[in-house]
Structure 1
């Protein structure tokens, strides 16, 4: 495979995208993801795929059929033109499609996602007059899955860069879909944590923002935007600390090094990606495809880690060899959506209010009339999130949960102390005035 070739930069692909001026940016990203997967599966450039398929599909053969002899003994033959069988397993298009399907299955892509990818790939090929054989769609499935543990998440976070550690922890603590998380900027993070600081300059924020901030995020998820579903969620102190650690590394180490080496003037800005790609000096967002590839590798390492533990237990006599396959089947799979599943499970466990769970997860409200009759405020959401925070924290941090009643009680105490402080200040001023008057009457003696 040519590592310098990018199928989404191929002129054939870019021409296809240009031919659809009304295509949304979201749809374009889906096409790019599908075609990237297709290239990784087939190892063939788009022009080669199109040429191979078209040359073969236009091929015709003649078949001579012997019909007998006439009265003079001459052979009677009939020529039959036979077009190439598009549905033949040997056809290029079928080989490409089956190779692509097998690749998707091997990389644990869900069947409904494979259906979507196939539709997009076939649309590109058909645009260049490649005939598509009859295909049966895969039935939509909901695969069995096992919830990852905190130790599993710590394993995949420790195996790699601080950038990916911060992204994974952010997904765990917010429950955001990967598409939403990858669209965020540093400015968005500054705004989400504004209760903890008053920084306007991005470099001041990166250098001096406090530790243990809890961010508040209010947005419409990309996936459900057309339904006008709003999500309100939070990110925990651990993820904020990791994000700041990554941003400080970029500001104080990576950018100065690149500037010295290449004569550049790189510095962070509010519009930079919160989770940036190295290809764009960490200023442009990571792509879903690159994240998927990285997490796939992490999943393979996690699986092997679990298998090693199983084999060690068998060697120590803690498990029987007969149980090995059953234990391997229970190994959880790690991918971006498993972080969201972990978040949803923890929220459901700690919060009995389905309406609050739906808002935090960015799901449709349980009751259609909620938008007209039910109003859930920030304080209720924050209280529910804080109750789940110990289970979302990977270091098992003990978190003090401040309910609305406790907060109100503390605010009243603060107010009382402020009043007492004002009283003490007033009395002190009066005493100072009295002393001053006494000095005026009696002098300094």
Structure 2
């Protein structure tokens, strides 16, 4: 195994990418991820895999199907040419594919992702004339899952950096998929919270943005872009506060320290990743693989924490030792998608409108005609989100739900007060002029 092997430097990979002039950067990234994992699973470079498969698939054997003599005593031999059976379990291609699937299963990659990776690997091999056997889509029984509690989320957020705490809380409060959250920039966050500020300069925003902002996000999720499904969701005050805490730490502590130490001129910009990687001075986004690895470690710690609590209950006589294994089976698993499941559960609990739930979650609308006949506005979406906010918040939160009618009433009162203030100002100005005239007379 060559540890220095890099798929992006393999001429076979680069030639394959060049053969697709309209391929997007995102698709190229997916191909890289699939082939990196394929290499990790098989321990063989792309050229070796292709050579082994082609040499074997081109192999033919002869089988004698009849041997005897004719009437004149001449020997007769009839042979059959047999091509190699690609579907044989012993074929290189099947061994590679099964090894790859097993590796993906062991590293907890999701079913749909495994099938996507498999399709991409086979596309590259087919491009180099490797014959692909009949492959059934990999599937597995969906395991039962238990919803994480607020205490579970607090535990995993407290075990690590402010960056990861802000990312986890953002996922909980928006219901975004990890891929969508990791594509966001600081400028996107500024735009999402513009209702609360008028900052243009990114450093002014980081330093002076108000607390407890609720961000509004309108986008097409990466996963469902081809279906033109739009998602409109919000992030809660807790996540905004954590994001600002992380950005202020970068601006006031991390960048000055790096600049002094390395003679750099680092400073935040709108194009910087909202959830950045330390390897790139927090300028570029964290990768899904690095986040998944970190959350996997957090899940292990959470499981150990739950087992410790179970054992303490057994020791205190609150739980029978016979029930230990059953309780361990019920321990919830923490990963990025568990944040989305928590969000969807709380939205469904507090909002009876399936159409609104679908929009907030970025799912297909329950009625195919909705896009043509039903228009749900910002106010309705925010009211639904605000109703779920106490359940989405990890700390005790008292939420005043402002309906569109209440908001309009308050805006009218503000306008009346503004006009009243203008009248008072005119009266004050008049009195000031009167006093000035009187002074002139007596002087």
Shorter-chain-normalised TM-score: which range?
Answer: 0.7 to 0.9
Match of 1:341 in 2: 341
Instruction: Provide the C-alpha distance between the structure 1 equivalents of 2:54 and 2:304, rounded to a whole number of angstroms.
Output: 43
Distance in 2 separating the partners of 1:421 and 1:393: 38
Choose 237-246 or 159-168, whichever is displaced more.
Answer: 159-168
What is the distance in 2 between the residues matched to 1:182 and 1:207?
A: 23
Query: Within the alignment, does 1:25 sit opposite 2:25 as a pair?
Result: yes
Q: Secondary structure at the match of 2:138?
A: coil
SS class of match (1:366): coil
Query: Which residue number in structure 2 is paired with residue 295 of structure 1?
Result: 295
Q: Tell me the secondary structure at the aligned position of residue 147 of structure 1.
A: coil
1:177 aligns with 2:191: no
Counterpart residue number, 1:240: 240
What's 1:106 paired with? 106
Structure 1 residues 216 and 2: alpha-carbon distance in aligned structure 2, compared to 1, 3 A threshold: farther
Partner of 2:412: 412
Paired residue for 1:380?
Answer: 380
Q: Give the secondary structure class of the aligned counterpart of 2:94.
A: helix
Contact 1:295 1:335 in 2 (8 A): yes
TM-superposed deviation, 1:126: 2.9
8 Å contact kept, 1:192–1:215? yes
Secondary structure of 1:232 counterpart: strand
Q: Root-mean-square deviation (CA), in Å? A: 3.2
Give the TM-score, by structure 1 length: 0.87
Q: Structure 1 pair 130/387, CA: closer, same or farther in 2 (3 Å)?
A: same
TM-superposed CA distance for 1:197, in Å, is 1.3
Distance 1:7 1:384 in 2: 47
Q: Give the distance between the partners of 2:172 and 2:94, measured in 1 at CA.
A: 40
Q: Is the 8 A contact 2:383 2:402 kept in 1?
A: yes
What are the Cα deviations for residues 277-307 of structure 1, in whole angstroms up to 9, with x where unaligned?
Answer: 2333222222223322322232233223223
Q: CA separation in 2, counterparts of 1:301 and 1:126?
A: 42
- Note the 1:7-406 alignment, pairs <5 A: 7-57=7-57, 86-139=86-139, 142-406=142-406
Q: Does the CA-based 8 Å contact 1:112-1:140 persist in structure 2?
A: no
1:39 and 1:317 map into 2 onto residues whose CA distance is 51
1:216 Cα offset (Å): 0.9
Deviation at 1:49, TM superposition (A): 3.4
In 2, the alpha carbon distance for the partners of 1:79 and 1:373 equals: 70
SS state at 1:233 partner: strand
Q: How many Å apart are 1:377 and its aligned residue? A: 1.8
Q: Secondary structure at the match of 2:217?
A: strand
**When the two structures are superposed, what TM-score results if normalisation uses the length of structure 2?**
0.87
Task: Note closer, same or farther for the CA distance 1:142–1:205 as it changes in structure 2 (3 Å cut).
Answer: same
Q: Number of aligned pairs?
A: 442
Q: Note the alpha carbon deviations across 1:194-240, whole angstroms, 9 max, x for none.
A: 11111111111112212211111111222222332222111111111
* Deviation (angstroms), 1:439: 5.6
105-114 or 328-337: bigger deviation: 105-114
Structure 2, unmatched stretches of 5+, are none
Flag structure 1 segments of 5+ consecutive residues without an equivalent: none
Q: 1:32 to 1:216 in 2, by over 3 A?
A: same
